[in-house]
Amino acid sequence: MKIKNNHPLVYFFLLGVISTLGAIYVLSILYFSEKGAAENFPQDYKIISPRVPGNLEFAGEKVPLENFEVYERMEREFIVHTYFHSYTIFAIKRANRWFPVIEPILKENNVPDDFKYLMVAESNMENVISPAGATGFWQFMKETGIKFDLEINDLVDERYHVEKSTEAACKYLKESYDQFGNWTMAAASYNMGTNGTETQTGKQKTDNYYNLVLSLETSRYLGRIISLKYIMQNPGLYGFDIKENELYEPLKIKEVILDSSVTDFADYAASLGLNYKILKMYNPWLRDNYLNNTAKKIYRIILPEEGSINVIN
């Protein structure tokens, strides 16, 4: 009988049949699952409503989420900053560079650390100018900046100086806290001014930010700050997968003293082994290419540490 000698062929045949049936089964599952997903989400992705934490606080002060209007106000900003991807990605990247500069100044001035997120909401850590003329990381108007000891003129504008403008912001916020009695209202006053805040609290007979009828911008203001705080502290929960090596590194710097006039900052930069662009990049508060300093005021010029940046001449 030859059947005995055909056993290996039978095994190969049965193995082929089983493999084919298994492949058909797997492919059918994949086909129908993909078909179902395509029918439910024809754009091949799904958009969810991001989670709002059950307890929110700002500077140690509780957000009354039990009030449905406040909850929806907060949720709006969580949605905005979750899906305004470019803004939030840059916030996460830049924070690695600038928070180490901002945090010690806030701490030294006894201003809660959460106020660094106010700065993010104001400018996203860029030296921008608003349509109204508010300038720098902390968005100071000229008159307010001068009031809080910033030098502002055609040649020097310390609203562009991160450390000094942070010091000025601390003075503003502490003064507002003393006036209104809590940090939430101090933050709100940063948006609408202390006079505007005083007017609204007096008119509406409440000093609770969440009970005030305000302009859309100011009513959204704390939500913007708070949502940025929680998303930036837990970016993965909101879909942001930014690797550590993708964060912007802190600047490695040194200082030199300038106590005289400078006729040409391009020549001055060259004398330091730099070019004009790098000098201005590290010192954006120098607003022209020269400086009249007959009073011999002391300025601290920021320079990159040797070897920390490639200089193209």
CATH number at residue 195: 1.10.530.10
pLDDT at 312: 60
Indicate if 9 and 133 belong to the same structural domain.
no
Q: How many residues does the chain have?
A: 313
* Whether the predicted pLDDT of 311 surpasses 50: yes
- Between these two residues, 243 and 46, which has the higher pLDDT value? 243
Position 50 in a domain? no
Cα-based distances in Å from 228 to 52, 123, 296:
12, 12, 42
What does each C-alpha distance from 72 to 52, 173, 222, 229 come to in angstroms? 10, 27, 13, 17
| In a shared domain, residues 209 and 130 | yes
* Residue 310 covered by a domain: no
pLDDT, tens digit, for every residue of 217-229?
999 999 999 999 9
Query: Do residue 274 and residue 239 come from a single domain?
Result: no
**How many domains is the chain built from?**
3
- The answer to whether 179 and 192 have CB atoms below 8 angstroms apart is no
Same domain, 271 and 158: no
**Does residue 46 lie in a domain region?**
no
Paired tokens of 80: 């905005």
**285 shares a domain with 196:** no
Number of H helices, E strands in the chain: 10, 4
Same domain (yes/no): 8, 119: no
**Does residue 20 carry a pLDDT above 90?**
no
Query: CB 231: neighbour CB atoms within 10 A?
Result: 22
Report CA-CA distances (Å) from 202 to 127, 188, 191.
35, 15, 17
On whether both 285 and 300 belong to a single domain, the answer is yes
Q: Per-residue confidence at 46, pLDDT binned at 50, 70, 90? A: confident
pLDDT tens, position by position, 260-290: 999 999 999 999 999 999 999 999 999 999 9
Best CA proximity match to 64, nearest among 192, 191, 180, 73: 73
Q: What distance in Å separates the CA atoms of residue 105 and residue 138, rounded to the nearest whole number?
A: 13
Residue type, 25: Y
**What domain range is 12 assigned to?**
4-40
Spatial contact of 61 and 183, defined as CB atoms under 8 Å apart: yes
Q: Are 140 and 14 contained in the same domain?
A: no
Is there a single domain that holds both residue 205 and residue 119? yes
Indicate whether 160 and 232 sit together in one domain.
yes
Q: How confident is the model at residue 2 (pLDDT cuts 50, 70, 90)?
A: very low
**Residue matched to tokens 């601390």:** 170
What pTM did the predictor assign? 0.85
